[in-house]
């Protein structure tokens, strides 16, 4: 497998990026760490003739308790012990992404926007051609759910559920200027799996903002995968919250690695506000999240099993949160 | 741990780092892809996207006309069939008439660069008639609509059927006190060596062809190239650069090696074919997916009375080593136990999937797993401890099995004793809390296939040449193939040990058929035993020349001379002696450079019935492993925390290498138990990548304690036997039996993934069975 030639652009400012994005509309990809994009390019997945490298854009850097630049390397974030301690789900998640080598290259923005995965999609051109291309690349049908005109590829980033659970916001820049939106609003619930982000054409993710309100709140991110390293999540559950006198003041659950997008289950956690986190309530919440989660058969582990693990993981994550409060 | 009788060996039995180690760890060792030739072209293969198709026509005109393309080949040009076994030549370099699996080679291109080659492949138009595909071997045992090969038995897809019966199995079952039946299902696994296949070929105007290739068996490649290309062997030169692992996957002569040579001949330019990982997966030749069904009968004391076995083995598209596989699945399941009555019915069936072949512990793992699970169940049924049950069934030394395998050395009982003591078995077995468990599994493997694959001409299995010249360096030539397992180091150690010289004097030469005498290569765990004996014989011959010279210099008779470090000295007067270099110079006065040649010939072994040679070996290795597991009973995720590996490889010649082989074998065995699987949907391989093919990570490696307990083997070099494949086998059942101890569930469908663990717990709970037996 080889990389087809592309034209590489090396802007040094966000304004320059936005200008390039306008000029190259629809014919480019952003290149951050390249750990996912370049293997996909080798497989000839949705090639674009231009790559806009974000490496040289200073504004996309910087990490503090309030803000993490989109181009921050995962390994550098991993080294920020105060930041990780302030947001426990983030700490759990970043340490579990892929391998140390991938984290040395991979970025925060890249992980949030990582291409969804499916074993009918993440294959070589030869493989995909031999089966018939799928609608996510070069084709017009889904091999997972053939009756639907929709892509069921799984969202496989670890940071998104962890950051969603702590109420993170993202900052984006585009031709219309800059805006901030809650992280969960980045992932379009109305999307068809191909169009899955609420980004306007050419818009660039520039930073993650971490709210002071959830700083120091206990929480956890638990990841299911076949091997304790290297593998993408087959399920990722983040919990974050705060208890007052044993009663829930705030509780969020976010699930990734299970469906087309990471999902925050606010409607299920809302009922627990003001309540004590009893074992029964945790179990009921866990079962409810499981019922609301519907993985399909497009990763290594079987969907029934992954779904069953949702309740185990939610329960364990909330228990960790409760213990964190107690401690 | 203690091993063998004390000796005064200088190097043998030590921990000797690989002689090529410094080059490998600094990136200086040369693998095939590190080499290139002037004006080299890139070879690329067009693979079949169809599992089974008649090739009506292949239009290569547009590809040929593309600038930068030097040759486009289809199957008709070199249609001579080949295969690793002379009796089952059913492969061609490029498909002729039919494509037989997704990934089968249907055309090849040589071009100036990779992109041009791939563009050319895209321009090839193939007109096909789709044929029925066969994913499940069970669908191929009767007559089929479109046999995958004409040679299938009676219009079926059966490639090989073996029926063996020794003793009287039915009578044995009739008098059995306990019987057990285990039906096992085993997914295919693949070698996943580090270095993808790579070949360079160059045809030169002097009428010769040179092929550099990542191969385990340069000699079989040499023969196959000659047969298919129609070039006498003496005009072909095969060179084996460093090889980054093989595990059986580089032991067949492979189609791309022949294609590469053919492209070089067609173009007159050097051609390189380098595989990517997906190519490696399609080439496969990994462990066969297998369904086996075994019944074991024991008497009231737990003594094995009989095995009755049925096995269906998924061959994939080619024969490869399949005839051997079919025999091995049966006959290698008996040792380390005495089995007085044995019946086996095995069949290997072609399917339209990537071919299966030899993989580390070839034919020795799958039925072994079922046997060991069966024995664990029988131990429970009879109330006998699993160790005791195995101990009382151990094959004695110097015995003969019911199918006439000659057993000489065995320290199997010592393996059992060591594993039992070190693991704390008696305190732990059936006493650990829910979710934690301990299990025993045993193993047995050939130390070199006694039968060479080719019977003509009759010749030694291994020959080693030595040459020592003015510089005092000793050049060692042999076609043995170091593929990372340490055989170069072993050659050097043996030669240095015998001659008494420093290891640094010994230079093991790169395998080159122009100068290396034939050794049949790295498969069937034959190298230490066979090459080791040949090397020892050659070194002793050379020593004789040196001692005669030393005798002339010292005036002492040869048999008074002893070998010291770099010195030959008189036993009667140790002050009298000469250095190695002095002896060498004296010896060279007569003949110039000294040369010596040693060889290993197999003894005559085995019975006279059909298939009697399969599984005969001049010695066998034995193993008893204990594994400890820790199961998360809510998720089914488990880890193997400890393994105690008691192994009988006779005398360990290079302890460091033996330990490395055992640790690596355990890792590979864990892969097959825990998650590695050639995952198919129908005939389509779903996971041809190392991200989706789940080799265990380093974090998953248990703490391993290695217990080397072998006595010297009477025929092995310095008493050694194999340690390259046998150490894998016991890993699987040790884990399976430990899981039972942990959660009370028997697993007979491998790999044992977390979802299966949970299902097993559910089922056990539903049946109301306790988690600990008895």
Flag whether residue B380 sits within 8 Å of chain A, measured between CB atoms: no
Q: Which two tokens stand for residue B182?
A: 């285990």
Q: Collect all residues of chain A within an 8 Å Cβ-Cβ radius of residue B636.
A: 305
Among chain A residues, the shortest Cα distance to B696 is held by A227
Q: For residue B684, which of B356, B320, B351 has the smallest C-alpha distance?
A: B351
Q: Indicate the helix (H) or strand (E) that contains B631.
A: strand B620-631
Number of helical (H) and strand (E) elements in chain B, helices listed first: 19, 32
CATH code assigned at B658: 3.30.365.10
Residues B385 and B400 in one domain: yes
Q: Is the pLDDT of residue B641 over 60?
A: yes
pLDDT at position A326, please? Answer: 62
State whether B592 and B537 are in the same domain.
yes
Q: Do B694 and A300 touch (CB under 8 A)?
A: yes
Range of the domain at B565: 21-28+454-600
In sign, the C-alpha dihedral spanning B725, B730, B735, B736 is positive
Q: Is A273 on the interface with B (CB under 8 A)?
A: no
Instruction: Give the position of tokens 């030669």.
Output: B495
| Residue B700 with chain A: CB contacts under 8 Å | 227-228
Question: What's residue B124's pLDDT?
Answer: 98
Report the SS3 class of residue A89.
helix
For residue A304, which residues of chain B lie inside 8 Å, CB to CB?
A: 755
From B114's Cα to the closest Cα of chain A, the distance in A is 8
pLDDT tens column, B559-590 = 999 999 999 999 999 999 999 999 999 999 98
Cβ within 8 Å, pair A229-B699: yes
Q: How confident is the model at residue B7 (pLDDT cuts 50, 70, 90)?
A: low
Give B53 to chain A, closest Cα distance, Å.
13
Q: Is B675 on the interface with A (CB under 8 A)?
A: yes
Residue A302 has its nearest CB partner, among B50, B698, B755, at B755
* Dist CA B119 CA B115 (whole Å): 6
Q: Are residues B216 and B275 in the same domain?
A: yes
User: Do the beta carbons of residue B95 and residue B75 sit within 8 Å?
Assistant: yes
What is the pLDDT, as a whole number, of residue B35? Answer: 98
Q: Which domains does chain A have, with CATH numbers?
A: 59-212 (3.30.465.10), 217-326 (3.30.390.50)
Q: Are A226 and B753 inside 8 Å of each other by CB?
A: yes
Probe site for chain B from A114, A122, A227 (most B CB atoms < 10 A): A227
| Closest chain A residue to B677, measured at CA | A300
Domain identity same for B491 and B563: yes
- What is the model's pLDDT at position A45? 97
Domain assignment present for B298 = no
Q: Which of B600, B632, B664 is the last residue of a domain?
A: B600
User: Cβ–Cβ of A312/B635 closer than 8 Å?
Assistant: yes
Note whether B552 and B697 are same-domain residues. Answer: no
Identify the CATH number of the domain in which residue B222 sits.
3.90.1170.50
CB contact under 8 A, A226 and B758: no
The answer to whether the Cβ–Cβ distance between A229 and B697 falls below 8 Å is yes
Question: Are B749 and B621 contained in the same domain?
Answer: yes
Please give the Cα distance from B493 to B497 (Å, whole number): 6
Q: Do A227 and B700 touch (CB under 8 A)?
A: yes
Find how far residue B519's CA is from the centre of its chain. 16
Q: Is residue B483 part of a domain?
A: yes
Answer whether A1 sits within 8 Å of B115, measured CB to CB: no
Is B758 an interface residue toward A (CB < 8 Å)?
yes
What string of pLDDT tens digits covers the 327 residues of chain A? 788 999 999 999 999 999 999 999 999 999 999 999 999 999 999 999 999 999 999 999 999 999 999 999 999 999 999 999 999 999 999 999 999 999 999 999 999 999 999 999 999 999 999 999 999 999 999 999 999 899 999 999 999 999 999 999 999 999 999 999 999 999 999 999 999 999 999 999 999 999 999 999 999 999 999 999 999 999 999 999 999 989 999 999 999 999 999 999 999 999 999 999 999 999 999 999 999 999 999 999 999 999 999 999 999 999 999 998 764
B73 pairs with which residues across the strands?
A: B108
CB contact under 8 A, B755 and A131: no
How many interface pairs between A and B have CB atoms less than 8 angstroms apart? 62
Domain end position, chosen among B544, B566, B600 = B600
> Cβ separation of A2 and B50 shorter than 8 Å?
no
Residues B710 and B757 in one domain: yes
**Chain B contact present for A3, CB below 8 A:** no
Residue B724 domain flag: yes
The predicted pLDDT at position B739 comes to 98
Q: What is the pLDDT of residue B33?
A: 98
Q: Do A308 and B114 touch (CB under 8 A)?
A: no
Same domain, B678 and B557: no
**pLDDT one-digit tens code per residue, B117-133:** 999 999 999 999 999 99
The closest of B518, B517, B16, B20 to B243, measured between CA atoms, is: B20
Q: Does any domain span residue B647?
A: yes
Angstrom distances, CA of residue A51 to CA of A25, A57, A173: 12, 14, 18
Q: Do A126 and B47 touch (CB under 8 A)?
A: yes
Which of the residues B281, B283, B753 would you substitute to probe the A interface, choosing the one with the greatest number of A C-beta atoms within 10 Å? B753
Domain count, chain B: 3
Contact B755 A129 (CB under 8 A): no
**Where among B547, B573, B600 does a domain terminate?**
B600
Distances (CA, A) of B767 to B182, B633, B737, B764, B770: 19, 17, 20, 5, 9
Residues B39 and B86 in one domain: yes
- DSSP, collapsed to helix, strand or coil, labels residue B307 as strand
| Interchain CB contact of A102 with B (< 8 Å) | no
CA triple A96-A102-A107, angle to 5 deg: 85
Residue B431 and residue B497 in one domain? no
Pick from B658, B712, B90: nearest CA to B348: B90
Measured between CB atoms, does B701 come within 8 Å of chain A? Answer: no
Interface of A with B in 304-323 (CB under 8 A): 304-305, 308-309, 312
Q: Does residue B632 fall inside a structural domain?
A: yes
**Any A CB within 8 A of B681 CB:** no
Q: Would you tell me which residues 21-80 of chain B have a C-beta closer than 8 angstroms to some C-beta of chain A?
A: 47, 49-50
Residue B4 has pLDDT above 60, yes or no: no
Interchain contact B760–A (C-beta under 8 A): no
Assess whether pLDDT exceeds 60 at residue B331: yes
Say whether both B594 and B638 belong to one domain.
Answer: no
Residue B531 pLDDT > 90, yes or no? yes
- B54 within domain boundaries: yes
Nearest to B692 among A1, A229, A300 (CB): A300
- Residues in B closer than 8 angstroms to A122, CB to CB, are 691-692
- Please give the radius of gyration of chain B, using alpha carbons only, rounded to the nearest integer: 27
Q: Which of A226, A232, A298 to mutate to test the interface with B (most CBs of B within 10 A)?
A: A226
* pLDDT number for residue B148: 98
**pLDDT of B453 over the 90 cut:** no
Q: Does a structural domain hold residue B291?
A: no
Residues of B in contact with A305 (CB under 8 A): 636, 754-755, 758
Chain B contact set for A236 (CB, 8 A): none
The B residues from 99 to 138 touching A (CB cutoff 8 Å) are 102, 114-115, 118
| Alpha-carbon gap: B593 to the closest alpha carbon of chain A (Å) | 50
Interface confidence, given as ipTM, is 0.96
The answer to whether position B666 is within a domain reads: yes
CA distance B718 to B539: 13
Q: Counting beta carbons within 10 angstroms of the beta carbon of residue B178, is it exposed (0 to 12), middle (13 to 18) or buried (19 or more)?
A: middle
**Which residues in A lie closer than 8 A to residue B276 (C-beta atoms)?**
1
Please measure the distance between the N-terminal and C-terminal CA atoms of chain A and give it in whole angstroms. Answer: 52
Contact B684 A124 (CB under 8 A): no
Tell me, yes or no, whether B578 and B616 share the same domain: no
- What are residue B625's DSSP bridge partners? B441, B645
CA distance A132 to chain B (A): 10
Q: Which residue is listed with tokens 């925060």?
A: A108
What is the pLDDT averaged over residues B738-767? 97
């Amino acid at each position: 497998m080889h990389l087809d030639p592309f034209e590489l652009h090396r802007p040094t400012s966000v304004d320059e990026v936005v200008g390039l994005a306008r000029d190259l509309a629809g014919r480019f990809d952003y290149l951050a760490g390249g750990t996912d994009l370049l293997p996909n390019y080798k497989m000839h997945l949705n090639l674009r003739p231009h790559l806009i490298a974000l490496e040289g854009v200073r504004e996309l850097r910087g990490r503090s308790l309030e803000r993490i630049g989109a181009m921050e390397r995962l390994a550098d974030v991993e080294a920020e012990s105060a930041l990780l301690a302030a947001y426990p789900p983030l700490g759990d998640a970043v340490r579990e992404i892929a391998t140390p080598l991938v984290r040395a290259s991979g970025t925060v923005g890249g992980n949030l926007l990582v291409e969804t995965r499916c074993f009918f999609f993440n294959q070589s051109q030869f493989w995909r051609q031999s089966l018939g291309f799928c609608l996510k690349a070069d084709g017009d049908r889904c091999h997972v759910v053939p009756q639907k005109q929709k892509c069921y590829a799984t969202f496989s980033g670890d940071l998104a559920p962890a950051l969603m659970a702590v109420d993170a916001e993202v900052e984006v820049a585009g031709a219309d200027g800059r805006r901030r939106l809650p992280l969960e609003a980045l992932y379009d619930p109305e999307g068809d799996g191909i169009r899955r982000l609420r980004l306007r054409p050419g818009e660039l993710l520039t930073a993650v903002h971490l709210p002071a309100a959830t700083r120091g709140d206990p929480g956890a991110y638990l990841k299911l995968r076949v091997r304790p390293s290297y593998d993408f999540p087959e399920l990722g559950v983040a919990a974050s919250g705060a208890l007052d006198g044993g009663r829930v003041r705030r509780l969020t659950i976010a699930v990734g690695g299970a469906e087309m997008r990471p999902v925050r289950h606010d409607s299920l956690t809302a009922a627990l506000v003001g309540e004590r986190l009893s074992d029964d309530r945790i179990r009921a919440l866990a079962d409810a999240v499981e019922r609301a989660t519907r993985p399909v058969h497009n990763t290594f582990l079987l969907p029934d099993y992954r779904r069953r693990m949702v309740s185990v993981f939610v329960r364990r994550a909330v228990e960790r949160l409760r213990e964190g409060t107690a401690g | 741990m203690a091993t063998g009788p004390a000796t005064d060996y200088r190097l043998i039995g030590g921990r000797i780092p690989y002689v090529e180690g410094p080059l490998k760890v600094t990136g200086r060792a040369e693998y095939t892809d590190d080499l290139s030739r002037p004006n080299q072209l890139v070879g690329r293969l067009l693979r079949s996207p169809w599992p089974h198709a008649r090739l009506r026509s292949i239009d290569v005109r547009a590809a040929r006309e593309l600038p930068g393309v030097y040759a486009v080949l289809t199957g008709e040009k070199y249609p001579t069939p080949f295969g690793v076994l002379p009796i089952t030549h059913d492969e061609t370099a490029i498909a002729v008439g039919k494509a037989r699996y997704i990934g089968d080679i249907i055309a090849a291109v040589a071009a100036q660069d990779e992109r041009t080659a791939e563009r050319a492949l895209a321009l090839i138009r193939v007109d096909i008639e789709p044929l029925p595909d066969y994913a499940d071997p069970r669908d191929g045992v009767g007559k089929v609509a479109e046999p995958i090969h004409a040679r299938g038995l009676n219009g079926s897809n059966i490639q090989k059927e073996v029926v063996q019966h020794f003793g009287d199995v039915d009578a044995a079952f009739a008098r059995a006190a306990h019987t057990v039946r285990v039906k096992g299902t085993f997914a295919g696994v693949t070698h996943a060596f580090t270095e993808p296949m790579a070949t360079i070929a160059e045809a030169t105007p002097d009428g010769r062809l040179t092929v550099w290739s990542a191969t385990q068996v340069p000699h079989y490649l040499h023969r196959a190239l000659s047969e298919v290309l129609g070039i006498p062997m003496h005009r072909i030169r095969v060179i084996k650069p460093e090889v980054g692992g093989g595990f059986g996957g580089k032991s067949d002569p492979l189609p791309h090696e022949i294609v590469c040579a053919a492209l070089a001949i067609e173009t007159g330019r050097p051609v390189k074919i380098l595989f990517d990982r997906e190519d490696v997966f399609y080439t496969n030749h990994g462990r066969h997916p297998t369904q086996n069904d075994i019944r074991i009968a024991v008497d009231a004391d737990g003594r094995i009375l009989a095995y009755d076995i049925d096995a269906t083995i998924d061959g994939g598209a080619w024969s490869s080593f399949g005839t051997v596989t079919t025999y091995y699945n049966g006959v290698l399941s008996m040792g380390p136990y005495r089995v007085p009555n044995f019946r086996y019915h095995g069949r290997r069936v072609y399917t339209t999937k990537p071919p299966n072949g030899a993989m580390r512990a070839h034919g020795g793992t799958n039925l072994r797993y079922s046997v060991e699970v069966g024995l664990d169940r029988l131990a429970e049924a009879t109330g006998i401890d699993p160790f005791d049950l195995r101990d009382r069934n151990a094959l004695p030394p110097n015995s003969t099995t019911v199918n006439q395998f000659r057993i000489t050395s065995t320290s199997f009982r010592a393996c059992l004793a060591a594993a039992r003591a070190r693991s704390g078995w008696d305190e732990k077995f059936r006493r650990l809390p829910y979710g934690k468990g301990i299990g025993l599994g045993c193993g047995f493997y050939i130390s070199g296939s006694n039968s060479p694959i080719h019977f003509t001409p009759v010749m030694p299995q291994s020959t080693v040449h030595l040459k020592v010249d003015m510089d005092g360096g000793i050049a060692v030539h042999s076609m043995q193939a170091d593929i990372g397992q340490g055989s170069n180091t072993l050659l050097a150690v043996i030669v240095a040990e015998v001659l008494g010289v420093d290891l640094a004097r010994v230079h093991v030469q790169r395998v080159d058929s122009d100068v290396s005498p034939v050794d049949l290569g790295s498969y069937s765990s034959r190298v230490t035993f066979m090459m080791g004996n040949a090397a020892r014989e050659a070194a002793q011959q050379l020593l004789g020349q040196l001692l005669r010279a030393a005798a002339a210099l010292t005036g002492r008779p040869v048999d008074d001379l002893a070998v010291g470090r770099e010195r030959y000295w008189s036993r009667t007067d140790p002050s009298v002696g000469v250095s190695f270099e002095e002896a060498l110079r004296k010896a060279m006065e007569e003949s110039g450079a000294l040369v010596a040649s040693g060889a290993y010939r197999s003894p005559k072994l085995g019975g006279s019935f059909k298939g009697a040679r399969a599984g005969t070996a001049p010695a066998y290795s034995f193993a008893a492993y204990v594994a400890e597991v820790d199961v998360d009973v809510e998720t089914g995720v488990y880890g193997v925390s400890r393994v105690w590996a008691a192994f009988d490889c006779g005398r360990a010649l290079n302890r460091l290498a033996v330990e490395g082989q055992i640790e690596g074998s355990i890792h590979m065995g864990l892969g097959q138990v825990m998650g590695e699987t050639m995952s198919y949907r129908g005939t389509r391989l779903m996971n041809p990548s190392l991200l989706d093919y789940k080799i265990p990570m380093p974090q998953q490696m248990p703490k391993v304690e290695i217990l080397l307990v072998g006595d010297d083997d009477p025929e092995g070099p310095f008493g050694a036997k194999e340690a390259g494949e046998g150490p894998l086998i016991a890993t699987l059942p040790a884990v399976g039996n430990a899981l039972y101890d942990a959660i009370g569930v028997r697993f007979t469908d491998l790999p044992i993934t977390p979802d299966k663990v949970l299902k097993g717990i559910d089922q056990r709970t539903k049946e109301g069975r306790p988690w600990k037996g008895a």
